[in-house]
Structure 1
Amino acid sequence: MKKLLTFLLLAGITFQTNAQQQLKPAASVSAAGFSPERLKRLDSFFNEAIKNGYAPNAVTFIARNGQIVHHKAYGFSNIEKRIPAKTTDIFRIASQTKLITTIAMMMLYEQGKFFLDDPIAKYLPEFKDIQVLVSYDKTTGKIETRAPKTPPTIRHLLSHSAGIGYGTELDSQLFGGSMTYLSSLDAITTEEIVKKVAKRPLSHDPGAQFTYGYNTDVAGRIVEVLSGKSLNDFFQDRIFTPLGMQDTWFYLPPSKADRLVELYAKPTMESPITLHASESNRKFPIAGKQTLYLGGAGLVSTAADYAKVCQLILNGGEFNHVRLLSRKTVALMGRNQIGESEVWDRHDKFGLGLQIITENSRYGDQASVGSLTWGGAYCSEYTIDPEEKLIMLVFTNVSPYAYYGEFVRKFRILAYQALE
């Protein structure tokens, strides 16, 4: 444990000092440190998954030292129309949005706009009287709350330890139904969502444990308040344009709409792949009122575009000859922020916007200790391995997805086993 804690405290020192400014195809797979023969196992895995009805499609992206060694598409972006998948396909990335919102927050942090331990209420007054849930009687509807031992802070938001979860039993009583957390075709805003979050009691005292939820959506609203811009405009002006990310959006321009993959569902391994039942989740990037900029779930992107964000982190805050964050800030993002708590049953830690693979990980498989990862509800995931100077991403769009864990972890296992 002492060894692990020491490593986590020093996390960031292995980030690249000679930043790769562009991601380019490797001169040869072997020169980049991969076995060409072993990489073919990825082809076998995805082709079999699609043949057996486990996945509709997949797009991969693996790069080491900025050299792309595997960027392929498998299956069909639209099964019904038999449209072959392409590496340029655009996917809903859901919670992979959270890292980009965290980057935006840390850019403002570096401008001296806030301290990590500032209470949320300093910037969003609606959180001033936030309470902690003590009990809830579903029969009578009686809710008992108390004041938190400490107010929720920005650090709590970015590490998912504020006590702000996703759908709770109270939502129907408080708001007449469940709250939006992935998408909407209606004319609602992040500000409206966040004000509802502020009316719900916290599930526990801030800092007590890891609880995944609306935290980063609240952080996205803070970005808007501190910058005076919508989250969409901040992302486009301060992150996407400088990094050369032309395919990452909240809502797609009409010229890119036909590149959006279809969204499917596979709730059990025995279930066939079918169209997703939610029109909102299927169509939000290209339809509806398009007013909701969810910092925790709202973006769409390509594997190659999002790889630029991963390379930025691997580079210690710089990419495309642009420095968005200092290397010390990126190192801070990769340090444990949740104490003795762990990310679900994974035996991993969480930093600021990033899951940290530990030596006791039950999720990271061969990933080096200190590697950083996260994914999205529609099934997409990235891993950033500073020790191997490696980034890897795999995208598909299925939700609910019984094959999710096997899909993303077997991809990572097969990528690592190909390293020479």
Structure 2
Amino acid sequence: MRVRILPRETAAAVITGSVSAAGWAVAAATILLTAPVLVETLVLRGRSADIPLTLILLGVVLGGILAVVLRPRRWVVMAYLAGAGLATLGYGAVLLSGDPGIVEHSPYLVNRPALALVLVGIPATRALVGIAWSLLGFVVAVIAGVGAFAIAGLTFRPGFGPLMVLALTAVAYLTLAAIQARIRSRVPNFDELEAETQALAHGEDLARRTTAVVHDTLLNDLAVVMNAPDRIDRRTRDRLLADLETLRGADWISASAAVDLPAEDAGLRNELARLASEFQWRGLSLHLTGSPLAHHVLAPEVATALLGALRAALENVIRHSGVTTAEVEVIADADNVTVMVTDRGQGFDPKAVAGDRLGIRTSVIERMTTVGGEARVWSAPGEGTSVIISAPIDRRLP
């Protein structure tokens, strides 16, 4: 099962942004909880007439918070700081005008909107950016406080609330940044790990294809030379030279990545006929039977794998079966092109084949599995051998 994981920097931004958003929730809760305390305080001090205006100014601050939550854009936050700063200025001026003693009685009530200004960090995706926004909010809160005290004709007496909130916010952001840095040093970068895994898989695939090509060309050509008479004929020499040119040019390495036309039925029929002719002069007669391949299309890499696996199967017949004839039946249906190779030779026990023998396993089975196909082998001592090779048609093409 493949699990999708966010890129490391994106995940860090999501976490930091979530912490910033939590600050807005605290700011909104602060404004909402201030309202009942404000009403009670003003009633007790005989200032009920100031309740509507102060509540409206708190409502402006709360509305700005909701606007930023709904549209977390920098220009919205800047507009919030301007609007909420003016509302904080008016709120402080109303409370302080004509009642300087409220600073001594309820100092926290005066600077409550200022706390919401400091808790401004929703655009932040990094710790330093979040601290910078909080610092800007703190500056706006100080300016609003100075203005409110000046309007009331009082000496500015800053409360410790906004400064403490700024300090706590900075500590929270820096702690989160330190944790993320520590995690980066311990947790691998999954993007790089996936790239390395793909490179290893490509290397393994290249190794399998290299083994298959060496088995199908070099080893078989050596067998031809060993079993040939003292003087090989021209046809054998031409085949050996062609195989050496294939290995020297290494075109087969990029075969799976080549952009080519699909292998249609005519091309497959021609290749099958060419294989039959080649193995005929080598002493193996092939009886080709089965349904036609009309309107069936194979992707280039699939067709190459199918023909390579078929060649490997026929090589095993000519080298190990002890017979001179084999049957090749082609079956084409709506989903696959299947080739079955059957001989009535001496057969073998597939379970008894040593693990270091690569013929059937690498050149036939693994070769087809790599391209989404399938290959199966049935054999028993004295009962001959049957190999079924199945290749999927290319549904991307008509």
Same fold (TM over 0.5): no
TM bracket, shorter-chain basis: under 0.3
**TM-score, length basis structure 1:** 0.20
Larger strand fraction of residues: 1
Larger helix fraction of residues: 2
**TM-score, length basis structure 2:** 0.21
